[in-house]
Amino acid sequence: MKFNHFIKKSLTRQIIALMGVFTLLFLAGTIILTLLQEHVNSSYYKEREKLVKKEEIVQQIDHDFNLVFFNVRGYFAYNNSELKNQAASLRPGIRKLISEYNRIAATPEDKAFGKEMDEFADFYFIERLPASIEYFEAGRMDEVIKLADSGATARINSFQDETHDYLQNLHKELNDRVQSLIIKQSYIQTGFFLFLVVILVILFRMIRIMFKKIGQPLTQFANAAEEIARGGKAELHVGQERMDELAVLSTAFSKMVRTLQEKEQDLLAQNEELLAQQDELQAQREELEEVLGTMRSNERKLERRNELINGISNSLQKQEVLESIVNNMCYVIEADCGLIVMLQNGESASFGISALGVEQFNNHLASGFIDRLKQTKEGFTVKRQLLQEEKGYHERTVFGYDLYLPIISSNQEVTAVMVFTRFGFPFIQTHMDEYSALSKQIGLSLDKISSYENSEADRKLNQDILNTVKEGMQYVDRDGCILQVNKQLCEMFHCQDGFAGIVGQTWDKWSVLLKKQVVDEDGFTEFIWRAFNGETSSGETFVYKTKDRGHVCQMYCEGLYQNNERVGTVFVHRDITKEFKVDEMKSEFVSTVSHELRTPLASILGFSELLLNRELKPEKQKKYLMTILNEAKRLTSLINDFLDVQRMESGKQTYEKKYIELLPIIEKVIDNQQVQTDVHRIILESFDGNDLILGDSSKIEQVFTNLISNAIKYSPSGGPVYLRLYEENSLLHIEVEDHGLGIPENAAADIFNKFYRVDNSDRRRIGGTGLGLSIVQEIVRAHDGYVSFKSKYGEGSTFIVSIPGVYKPSHGLDENIHQSGTRYEVLVIEDDQSLAELIIQELTENNLHAKHFNTGRDALAYLENHLPDAIVLDIMLDEGLDGWSIMKILKRNEVLSHIPIIISTALDEKEKGLSLGAHDYFIKPYQTGSLSLAILQTLLKVGKAGQILIPENSPGD
């Protein structure tokens, strides 16, 4: 009873008691079901583990026996003693597995099978196998066959069948255990579901009890409070037997209601007095707010006037000042919009006016209003009816008032015009003097900015002239202070703060700053001191080398005179690093070329003399001839490299770019390079993305031939060479990675220079001209790509070729042309009527409109009034102009020069045609399908009438 009384005195205790009972029931049920589940699972796992162990042992025994059978049969078939030894080596393992199986055999069936395996092992290894081997080694093969037919083979087959049946029984028993586990788990799950139902019923019952004990009384409290809030009376009926907090709350609530009713009367009386005072205060507040608004308005005007003055006084940036003028003036004079325009150069700033409106005003600066300002030099106002676009949502007639103010320069010329507009209320005439004063203030500020801009333009022009000079220049006055330098000098000596970091420094500071970056500090300082004092002779120079970059520079000086008086010295620092390196590389190149050319020539001459002067066997002759051929190819490759470099430098290298797949080219290069090495493995990692590019297949093949050849050449110890393709940011990246000598850090900057070779004894023994990477870079640049590399000295290098990828049209080029909705026109200039008809038919089938002319003059006359999308041009025309002359005329015409020209001729002068601007070159005879394909590809790339077409992204993009 005491405990029950203790519980009833507190709602918290009642709730804790109910939750405690519920929790105990839930935990008890959960623990029982969990333990039952654990017991079922552990029993299953133990039994399964035994069965799996027996299955694994039997499978291993069966596997070993089969291996023994195969080895023995192989021994009998091929007389290979190694197979016999392997079969004999398996016998101890089989015995051990049988013993292990007998230890874990539990059922009579298991023990019987174990006994059977023992007997079969004795039968096979003791009785039959030794006898069969003895007969076989004695050459008595008929006895071996007789032993096999006398029951040995049948016994082996019977044992294999028994093993198979036993394994099937084990597998079936494992399945039975699984099914038993599933049934038991379903029973447990059903019990768990019933347990949850019981728990939910108990929980629902507990919620109902709590609602009855707490919810109903609280509802009564809420209804009573609402009734009291409406001004009525309410009574609470809480059970007399309750002793908890709700009973206490009921008593306190009743007392509170009585107190509130008493206070309500007092508050009503006080409220009436406060309302009267509030009305009086509200009237005073409105008066103060009106005065305060006027003061604030005047204060904001003064602030805007100050901002206007500060804006035009403290800045020398004209556009910034113009924007400040128009913004602040609009606020000061309370204009809705406005603009200011400089009459000389059209610079302008606006507020509340669109760019189109500003442009319109600039186009009509010669109107009468502007002329009036120029003549009178006084401001005026104009009243006008607002335009429809200015009225917004207003329907009635609304007037606008424009204020025109001139800005007069110091020489009394109108240099700028300001126009401001008010909507609905006019500018007061008495304020015009104030507006004119502001205009004069603005004019003085613009005069100051104009003077500053003129002097700044002169200074910048002088500095820009100095900066265009390739040599570093510094002007030092006669006191040794630097007055001016150019950009090249700052770059040569790494001035941290640019011009500001060195200009204005004295002799003591800048001489120390510069000499710290020179190898020969004393010689550098001595030359500068002698030059500063006028002790150097005319044309005397000093050559020095910088410490950080190793640049070689030549310095000379000239005195600066005014009125025959020396006022300073000009020092000139000329970077001759390239000339210095070129001299070094020329010497190196002469040595390298003499070696690289003489080596194959020596082999060719030596083997040729052997073939001429000696009688050799045919195989020797073939070997020597192959050597001569290989050395000739090597010599040809060297000469081709020299010629390629020369053509690239002169800009005469031509490229026959077409849509090509990159992967087959790389695979071809790999096949060619792999046969030349036995110690390297060239590995191309798989790539299933888009590998289509626009390029010259032979040049692309040369790029990867050079890179893979270098990877092999500079990996003298062998090893793998990896090639990887991947696509990123619309670029195809191809990596060529080796694990060879690597590239030193100090050689990274020059690795792509012509004739450059790393100064290393290992590489000197390898040989080469230093042209391969230079050629690679030039070819890749010609394909709008770039080459980069990363290397670690002694560990290898990775060269990355990045070329823009393109996407194959999803439905064919002609279908893309058709789907674009554009009818392209192709002009065919061909004097061979049969070929012309064939070309026209091919173009028509590809949805292209073709127009044909026999002579160049007729075609040019047609082009005066028509603009085709492409031209097919024959070079050898019968009458009048030939194809070369027509091309020159078209390229000189600005309107026609962009039209793609595809040459169709019997002349083999492709290089000349491409150099004159042809997009493609076809030599007769050729397939007209390839001509139409080239035209379609060109039109997709160039577009109609020279416009660039943007292809849609492919589905895989």
Calpha distance 256→264 (Å, rounded): 12
Rounded mean pLDDT, 255-268: 74
Rounded mean pLDDT, 899-903: 92
In this structure, the number of other CB atoms found within 10 A of the CB of residue 662 comes to 22
Calpha distance 311→438 (Å, rounded): 13
Rounded mean pLDDT, 538-556: 85
pLDDT at 841 (0 to 100)? 87
pLDDT at 684 (0 to 100)? 92
Judged against a pLDDT cut of 60, whether residue 203 lies above it is answered with: yes
* Nearest by Cα to 405 from 368, 442, 430, 357: 442
Give 503 or 256, the one with higher predicted confidence: 503
Rounded mean pLDDT, 415-444: 85
Calpha distance 25→424 (Å, rounded): 84
Cis peptide before 925 (omega within 30 of 0): yes
How are beta strands 380-385 and 482-485 bridged, if at all?
A: unpaired
Confidence of residue 138 (pLDDT cuts 50, 70, 90): confident
Query: Percent of the chain beyond pLDDT 90?
Result: 9
CA angle (562 as vertex; 560, 563 as ends), nearest 5:
140
In sign, the C-alpha dihedral spanning 114, 118, 120, 124 is: positive
Confidence of residue 947 (pLDDT cuts 50, 70, 90): very low
Judged against a pLDDT cut of 60, whether residue 99 lies above it is answered with: yes
DSSP 518: B
Rounded mean pLDDT, 943-948: 47
Query: Do 85 and 72 meet the contact criterion of CB atoms below 8 Å apart?
Result: no
Judged against a pLDDT cut of 60, whether residue 951 lies above it is answered with: no
| 651-655, 796-800, 951-955 — most confident range | 796-800
pLDDT at 161 (0 to 100)? 83
Query: Do 316 and 307 meet the contact criterion of CB atoms below 8 Å apart?
Result: no
pLDDT at 594 (0 to 100)? 66
Consecutive H or E run containing 194: helix 153-210
Query: Do 831 and 880 meet the contact criterion of CB atoms below 8 Å apart?
Result: no
Calpha distance 577→583 (Å, rounded): 10
Q: Is 576 exposed, middle or buried (0-12, 13-18, 19+ CB in 10 A)?
A: middle
Confidence of residue 107 (pLDDT cuts 50, 70, 90): confident
Rounded mean pLDDT, 353-379: 85
* 5-19, 291-305, 582-596: the lowest-pLDDT one: 582-596
How are beta strands 901-905 and 920-923 bridged, if at all?
A: parallel
Confidence of residue 649 (pLDDT cuts 50, 70, 90): low
pLDDT at 838 (0 to 100)? 84
pLDDT at 948 (0 to 100)? 33
E strands in 447-563: 472-477, 482-485, 542-545, 552-562
Give per-residue pLDDT as tens, 329-352.
888 888 889 999 988 888 899 998
User: H/E/C letters for each residue in 21-79?
Assistant: HHHHHHHHHHHHHHHHHHHHHHHHHHHHHHHHHHHHHHHHHHHHHHHHHHHHHHHHHHC
Give per-residue pLDDT as tens, 690-742.
888 888 888 898 899 889 988 998 888 889 999 999 998 889 999 999 998 88
Would you state the structure tokens that stand for residue 799, as one six-digit string? 């060269």
What does pLDDT average to over the chain? 80
Calpha distance 796→956 (Å, rounded): 35
Would you state the structure tokens that stand for residue 212, as one six-digit string? 């009855």
* 480-484, 496-500, 922-926: the lowest-pLDDT one: 496-500
Tokens 């005879």, located at residue: 925
Full-model pTM? 0.35
Rounded mean pLDDT, 400-413: 87
Judged against a pLDDT cut of 50, whether residue 190 lies above it is answered with: yes
Give per-residue pLDDT as tens, 731-764.
999 999 999 888 888 777 778 877 777 754 444 5
* Nearest by Cα to 462 from 440, 495, 484, 431: 484
Calpha distance 118→110 (Å, rounded): 12
Judged against a pLDDT cut of 90, whether residue 871 lies above it is answered with: yes
Rounded mean pLDDT, 641-647: 70
pLDDT at 827 (0 to 100)? 94
pLDDT at 590 (0 to 100)? 67
Domains and CATH numbers, the chain: 4-202 (1.20.120), 315-452 (3.30.450.40), 469-575 (3.30.450.20), 654-804 (3.30.565.10), 819-946 (3.40.50.2300)
Give per-residue pLDDT as tens, 652-668.
677 777 778 899 999 99
Give per-residue pLDDT as tens, 37-90.
888 788 778 777 777 888 888 888 888 888 888 888 888 888 888 888 888 888
Give per-residue pLDDT as tens, 805-854.
876 544 344 444 444 445 689 999 988 887 888 889 888 888 889 999 98
Query: Do 796 and 740 meet the contact criterion of CB atoms below 8 Å apart?
Result: yes
Confidence of residue 108 (pLDDT cuts 50, 70, 90): confident
Q: Which long-range contacts (CB under 8 A, 24 or more apart) does 757-766 make?
A: 757/588, 757/592, 762/716, 763/714, 766/713, 766/714, 766/716
Would you state the structure tokens that stand for residue 888, as one six-digit string? 């020159």
